[in-house]
Chain A
Amino acid sequence: MSDALLSVSGLTRRFDVSKPLLNRVIEREDRQFLTAAADVAFEIRRGETFALVGESGSGKSTIAKMIVGLLEPSEGEIRFDGKGMDFASGSAMRALRRRFQMIFQDPFASLNPRWRVGDIIAEPIRTFGLLRGAAIGAEVGRLLDLVGLSASDAEKFPHEFSGGQRQRIAIARALSSKPEFIVCDEPTSALDVSVQAQILNLMRDLQDEFGLTYLLISHDLSVVRHMSNRIGVLYLGRLVEVAEAKRLFTEPQHPYTQMLLAAVPDLALSGRRRTPVTGEIPNPINPPPGCAFHPRCPHVMDHCRTDAPASHPTASGEAACHLLAPSRAAAQTAQD
């Protein structure tokens, strides 16, 4: 527990998706809520890369936004370096914000097109008052150099750069406030594979050099496999499994993880016939009762339809599935 840089517990976020009041009165409907994240708990250790994977709508980005303080959780707690995040206090949040940064998916949207690259990178330095005067320019040059661009690029505008170069600029900006923790939300999904390789290698080098901790959000399982130490699998806003990266891919415990892994097309040409995932992710406004995955689960049992499964420890993490309950596992072993 002591080496956890960030820990979240009971993290829940509901969005109000009700119709307007008049419609509700006329149509006799209740308020409706979409639960984007439900009782999510995990911790990220100092210096590691923790990844969150899941399909669209599984709550990956919602969790990332809550962690960097862009969204307030409905319930639950986020602790950063031992201190609880206090959304009510502006000054406390501001002090914390210097220590974590975010890299977004779309480098075409995340850089202000009317600012010069130098100003974009210098903004966090100025905002947090880290440096003054000419030192800022020198620091911007150093950061550009660090991410593989040249110091003279500070004079240019974002449109003069390709997608990969823009993502380098976004990384330089994220590094400028000397953060310890960076949330990377799909950092390479807008890029081509050869550029993706450059960015992933750069992220690794920077992590080694500055001891950064990453939270990586991605739907690309091979990127996640390559980059992370531990992985959390999300389904409908619920964390169904957490495991060490290598273990997750060799011994997935939760049926959903198994299904997801079996579905990924891979270069390995193992000749295996992929097991296609059956069904689709249900509507998060009315998630299925019990285990949210039960309508698609090949091992569904009666109590999956009524009782939400608790998290059970596995070889390298935990998984929320009735199959893994100690009594059940023991019965299984006895049968075998």
Chain B
Amino acid sequence: MTAISNKPPLLSVRDLVVEFPTRRGTLRALDQVSFDIAEGEVLGMVGESGAGKSLTGAAIIGLLEPPGRIAGGEVWLRGERIDNLSVEKMRRIRGRRIGMVFQDPLTSLNPLYTVAEQLIETIRTHIDVSEKEARKRAIALLDRVGIPAAARRIDDYPHHFSGGMRQRVVIALALSAEPELVIADEPTTALDVSGQAQIIDVLKDICAERGASVMLITHDMGVIAETADRVAVLYAGRMAEIGPVRDVVQAAEHPYTAGLMGAIPTLTQTADRLTQIPGSMPRLNAIPQGCAFNPRCPRVFDRCRAERPELIARASGRHVACWLYETETENV
């Protein structure tokens, strides 16, 4: 596989299962999802609404909304198992070792406190420094994420900032305790196109400087294509394909990924019609037997309807959950 994977991964997720017990039976929202994030790597996580992208992020940092719960699998952070920690221990990891950036910058900041208060509180909660030192660090961070006149603006309230600037503050907040991993859940979805590029660049550069890994959750393949090292594609709570971003985007192997890529209009294409995948993603209470994608798959065959495919390792270091590639692997 790739050179990065010789070192033990920073984050390792194994067979993660998340369930929601309801009156009409248990819904399995994530079904045996496994992936690794290497040190300093940017892993993109894509999929349509309801595929389980955000849920994966929430499960890793222990912020699943009840009644959702982890019903199986393990999450390891640098060799330490974190999915079964107590609430108190998890709280110390969250923020300190794993930072978070959410979609809506307005709701992730407290409107009643100044940016300075929020940043200093976060820094002092996790790192043992004086108030003065914390403020100095906070100003340096704001300056780094590109807030003009940071020393003056730090005492402003969140509503004084525009959407793009607010998201920069959120990034500063997520990075304030120097975490090893940043989980960014749709960090640019609420912003205009012109602002998206700025925020993605800031996030990517600052994480690279500090050696932090990033799990970037988004439905925007363009953002993934330009930012991520590897990309994981989720479908109906299951991993469909994971691999180096260039391979997956340009030569998708899973029929779902291929359909998804064809469905995205690009700035250079000339085709008159977009490829369309018939139907829509199944609801959680009606996931078909076998491969979850089989009713919509253009290359479906008998086995797909009966047995669920495992992730199959492919030559290029990617993994695909599709029976089409089973025989080829056996031959190799």
Contact of B265 among A164, A198, A225, A277 (CB under 8 A): A225
Looking at A72-80, A96-104, A111-119, A263-271, the stretch in contact with chain B turns out to be: A263-271
Looking at A44-52, A131-139, A150-158, A188-196, the stretch in contact with chain B turns out to be: A188-196
- B192 interface hit (Cβ, 8 Å): yes
A164-B280, A193-B263, A223-B265 given; A269·B194 CB < 8 A: no
Do A196 and B263 touch across chains, with their CB atoms under 8 A apart?
yes
Give the chain B neighbours of A263 by CB distance below 8 A: 193-194, 196-197
Do A260 and B194 touch across chains, with their CB atoms under 8 A apart?
yes
Give the chain A neighbours of B262 by CB distance below 8 A: 197
Number of residues on chain B facing chain A (CB within 8 A): 44
Give the chain B neighbours of A221 by CB distance below 8 A: 193, 267
Interface residues of A in 240-289 (CB under 8 A from B): 249, 259-261, 263-269, 274, 276-277, 280-281
Do B276 and A193 touch across chains, with their CB atoms under 8 A apart?
no
User: In the complex, A60 Cα to B250 Cα: how many Å?
Assistant: 34
CB of A329, distance to nearest CB on chain B (Å): 27
Do A269 and B249 touch across chains, with their CB atoms under 8 A apart?
yes
Do A259 and B194 touch across chains, with their CB atoms under 8 A apart?
yes
CB closest residue in chain B, given A226: B265
Number of residues on chain A facing chain B (CB within 8 A): 38
Give the chain A neighbours of B24 by CB distance below 8 A: none
Give the chain A neighbours of B245 by CB distance below 8 A: 269
Do B194 and A192 touch across chains, with their CB atoms under 8 A apart?
no
Q: Give the top 3 A-B pairs by smallest Cβ distance, nearest first.
A: A265-B222, A197-B263, A226-B265
- A178 interface hit (Cβ, 8 Å): no
- A149 interface hit (Cβ, 8 Å): no
A268-B267, A269-B249 given; A197·B276 CB < 8 A: yes
Chain B CB count within 10 A is highest, among A162, A193, A281, for: A193
Q: Is the interface of A mostly helix, strand, loop or mixed?
A: helix
Q: Number of A-B pairs whose CB atoms are under 8 Å?
A: 121
Do A193 and B264 touch across chains, with their CB atoms under 8 A apart?
yes
Do A276 and B197 touch across chains, with their CB atoms under 8 A apart?
yes
- Give a binary string over B222-260; 1 marks a CB under 8 Å from any A CB, 0 the rest: 110111000000000000000001100110000000011
Give the chain B neighbours of A192 by CB distance below 8 A: 48-49, 219
User: In the complex, A176 Cα to B282 Cα: how many Å?
Assistant: 30
- B297 interface hit (Cβ, 8 Å): no
Do A277 and B195 touch across chains, with their CB atoms under 8 A apart?
yes
- A300 interface hit (Cβ, 8 Å): no
Do B280 and A195 touch across chains, with their CB atoms under 8 A apart?
yes
Do A204 and B273 touch across chains, with their CB atoms under 8 A apart?
yes
CB of B84, distance to nearest CB on chain A (Å): 34
- B19 interface hit (Cβ, 8 Å): no
Give the chain B neighbours of A55 by CB distance below 8 A: 192-194
- B2 interface hit (Cβ, 8 Å): no
User: In the complex, A198 Cα to B201 Cα: how many Å?
Assistant: 32
- B274 interface hit (Cβ, 8 Å): yes
Give the chain A neighbours of B272 by CB distance below 8 A: 204
Do A266 and B222 touch across chains, with their CB atoms under 8 A apart?
yes
Chain A CB count within 10 A is highest, among B194, B262, B274, for: B194
Contact of B192 among A194, A204, A219, A265 (CB under 8 A): A219
CB of A134, distance to nearest CB on chain B (Å): 32
Do B193 and A219 touch across chains, with their CB atoms under 8 A apart?
yes
Give the chain A neighbours of B280 by CB distance below 8 A: 162, 164, 194-195
- Give a binary string over B209-222; 1 marks a CB under 8 Å from any A CB, 0 the rest: 00000000001111
